Structure 1
Amino acid sequence: MCWSATADLVAGTVITAVGAAAVAVAARHPRDLPLAALPLLLGAHQIIEAVVWHRGGGTGPATVAWSVIALPLLALWVPAAVLCAAPPSARRRLLLPLAAGVVTAAALAHALATRTVTAEIRGHTVGYSLGLPQAELTVAGYLLATLGSLLLSGDRGLVLFGVLVTVGAAVSFGLWRQEYISTWCAFAAVCSVVLLLWARRSRPPVPRPPGPPVP
């Protein structure tokens, strides 16, 4: 989330470009691709919110699309992507965040299918409301699935990334609750660059087989 339609559009474009670069780098290692593609999803998310700003909030398709990405899709995408990229020694413990992601994503998808999500412009922030039952339990499952999978990944770069996301989310949430300014887009941009660096350094390139001898 950003503080204006223009900021969301600019941030989304930059984050999408970083995501495209990360995917190109991670193509050498297919297991890294789902996580490297995360900035593409975050970039699209910001661009969609620019439409929400432009329409003044409400309950239109842009609001629903924003909520689908933010709620069920990320709750499932992040732990599944981390499981793909994590070292084999960490995969068993990552089944817990993945299970939390599956359950949380199912609950959120059901809520989106049966309730109306609304967006409200509040100064320099956008507030989204879905009226979730047992919201505290859903939030706990969401955090376990997303932040928990990163912190339990067993990959030093992903653990540091998880710490960065945790701090950034806490700061952004505090500012958003005060309806002062929404800064998550700035942290999303930083996180996207970190993922690009991770994709470049996570593993050495796969060596190519030697070619035929030159006569």
Structure 2
Amino acid sequence: MCFSPEADLVAGVVVTAIGIDALRHVPRRELVPLASLPLVFGVHQLVETFVWWHLRGDVPDCVGKPAAWIYVVMAMCLVPVLVPFAFARIGAIRSRLLATGLVACGIVSAVLLTIGLVRDSIRPEIDGHHIAYHVTTPWQVFTLGLYILAACGPALLANAAPLRLFGATNLLVVALLIWLAQSAVVSLWCVWAAVSSVLINLYVRRRARVSPEAPGTGEPHRSGTRGSP
């Protein structure tokens, strides 16, 4: 995250609250993975707060080192699988074959990145106004290409405007970060994804307004609102 652990903490608290709100408004079970994304991103930023504190000497190794591992595993192994699965689960991508392919891209990239994490240690360090996470990436161009496809592709191909905007902004930011400083991608892109995930919350709340079922109950919605999402 940019600036400081305090900024990470504030962003994490705000986005976590947005994530909880999104889950509260889920009208059907298939939306749960998508609605959970803001919560995952929010918790992710809260975890990085402890990485900052450890690198500054404010918390012990027994806290800071696990936090760094959790942060990197969430970013590199959870996100590329959860994002395409969430979009495929709600049928947001018109082609089922394409949706399956994006999930496969996420799984392959997560496996390759996991192999890199197991083979080598995570070496986080403060680099100016962000944390640089030095990790080994097997077949770097191939693996990162699959990661970007899995993390940004589903939203770009979605049939809802807020989700397409979420995908477009994340793709632009990750491309810019790769051009500026590859070591900054893990930390800086993840916080942008967290902030932009407010668009997912707006989408879920809209689905809740037009859904024939009340959020989380399976009972008919009683507002009388009709229409497709």
Stretch moving more, 104-113 or 35-44:
104-113
> Would the aligned equivalents of 1:2 and 1:185 in 2 still touch at CA under 8 Å?
no
Whole-Å Cα distance in 2 between the matches of residues 87 and 173 of structure 1?
Answer: 28
Q: Which residue of 1 aligns with 2:216?
A: none
Q: Unaligned regions of 5+ residues in structure 1, if any?
A: none
Amino acid at match of 1:29: R
Equivalent positions of 1:1-215 (< 5 A) are 1-26=1-26, 28-56=27-55, 60-87=65-92, 89-172=94-177, 184=189, 187-202=192-207, 204-207=210-213, 208-209=219-220
RMSD: 2.6
Whole-Å Cα distance in 2 between the matches of residues 60 and 158 of structure 1?
Answer: 34
Amino acid at match of 2:103: L
Cα deviation code 1:1-42 (max 9, x no counterpart): 23211100110000000000011111x121111011101111
1:87 to partner: Cα distance: 4.1
Cα gap change, 1:31 to 1:102, in 2 (>3 Å): same
Q: Secondary structure at the match of 1:119?
A: strand
Whole-Å Cα distance in 1 between the matches of residues 83 and 163 of structure 2?
Answer: 11
Q: Secondary structure at the match of 1:37?
A: helix
Whole-Å Cα distance in 2 between the matches of residues 209 and 46 of structure 1?
Answer: 37
> Would the aligned equivalents of 2:125 and 2:133 in 1 still touch at CA under 8 Å?
yes
> Would the aligned equivalents of 1:94 and 1:153 in 2 still touch at CA under 8 Å?
no
Whole-Å Cα distance in 2 between the matches of residues 183 and 23 of structure 1?
Answer: 25
Cα gap change, 1:71 to 1:29, in 2 (>3 Å): same
Amino acid at match of 1:142: Y
Q: Which residue of 1 aligns with 2:225?
A: none
1:98 to partner: Cα distance: 0.8
Q: Secondary structure at the match of 2:121?
A: coil
1:75 to partner: Cα distance: 0.9
Whole-Å Cα distance in 2 between the matches of residues 84 and 210 of structure 1?
Answer: 22
Amino acid at match of 2:4: S
TM-score by length of 2: 0.80
Q: Secondary structure at the match of 2:98?
A: coil
Cα deviation code 1:105-146 (max 9, x no counterpart): 111122222220110111211100112221111100101111
Whole-Å Cα distance in 2 between the matches of residues 185 and 106 of structure 1?
Answer: 19
Cα gap change, 1:68 to 1:170, in 2 (>3 Å): same
Q: Secondary structure at the match of 2:55?
A: coil
Whole-Å Cα distance in 2 between the matches of residues 61 and 197 of structure 1?
Answer: 33
Q: Unaligned regions of 5+ residues in structure 2, if any?
A: 214-218, 223-229
Cα deviation code 1:73-127 (max 9, x no counterpart): 1011101111012247332221111111111111112222222011011121110
Stretch moving more, 101-110 or 85-94:
85-94
- Identity across matched positions, percent: 35
Cα gap change, 1:202 to 1:172, in 2 (>3 Å): farther
